[in-house]
Amino acid sequence: MSMDRDVSREKVSRVSTRVVLLSAEAPENDGDDPDKYGEPYEGVTEDLNEGIDWYISTNYYNANILNARNVFIADIDIEEYSTDPLLRSKEAYMEWFTSFIVKQIHRRFRVYETANGFRVFLVDSQLAPDEYASTQLMKLLRSDPLYASCCVGQMTYRARLSPKPMRIGMTEWEGQQVEQFFGLTVDRYTKEEWEAVYNERSKEYAVAKVAYVDKGVIEDAVINQVIQIHDEHCLGDGKPLA
């Protein structure tokens, strides 16, 4: 794949191809969070931006999703009342990461802070989601188990590139999702109106910010490209995370 592909936020095109991500092995969504990782397996159609080693899809609430076939991405949820002390605060997790993972695990990483946790990229080599090294690394890094299972089920790692609607003052999206997840009665936007508002509000937010960077050179061209795509979409100097 050419490294000079234009991956800027404004020029990511959505083609008309539709895909449905389904798996008989899919874990069920518990229903508490409409953005939990079970949604691809529930027959959600996504617009496909095609690539050889990665593609960008659009989920049911219009967020862009980066799908990387072999570039390892762990998703870490930080919750105040977690049973794991390392997952109760961002400070606790990063202290552990920099004191143990960086010094004791002989792999190279890049870490991004998100609104409710972290994303951890492995940058020294590619790993397929179903490889033993990948599944064990997910556990070691305390990645969300449901996310980890879904990576294996659909054979891609995923990272959201645009904000969650509920974090930018929007509680409504296409069709019946409003009633399904919130039990609300509201005046609904048309799809086109909703997307216009969502895209405009999204400009005021970032999805991630850099928390840790390995200082070495990333030699793998595919990993470099996936990092570039992620950063150009997700980072925003000084913008709130959503």
- Residue 81 located in a structural domain: yes
Query: What is the spatial distance between Cα 208 and Cα 115, in angstroms, rounded to a whole number?
Result: 7
- Residue 1 located in a structural domain: no
- Residue 239 located in a structural domain: no
| pLDDT (tens digit per residue) in 47-92 | 444 457 999 998 877 789 999 999 999 999 999 999 999 999 999 9
Total domains, the chain: 1
- Residue 21 located in a structural domain: yes
- Residue 64 located in a structural domain: yes
The secondary structure of residue 230, as a DSSP letter, is H
Q: Which domain holds residue 222?
A: 9-234
- Residue 242 located in a structural domain: no
Query: What is the spatial distance between Cα 179 and Cα 227, in angstroms, rounded to a whole number?
Result: 37
- Residue 104 located in a structural domain: yes
196, containing H or E segment: helix 191-202
| pLDDT (tens digit per residue) in 204-232 | 999 999 999 998 899 999 999 999 999 99
51 neighbors 2 (Cβ within 8 angstroms): no
- Residue 241 located in a structural domain: no
pTM of the model: 0.76
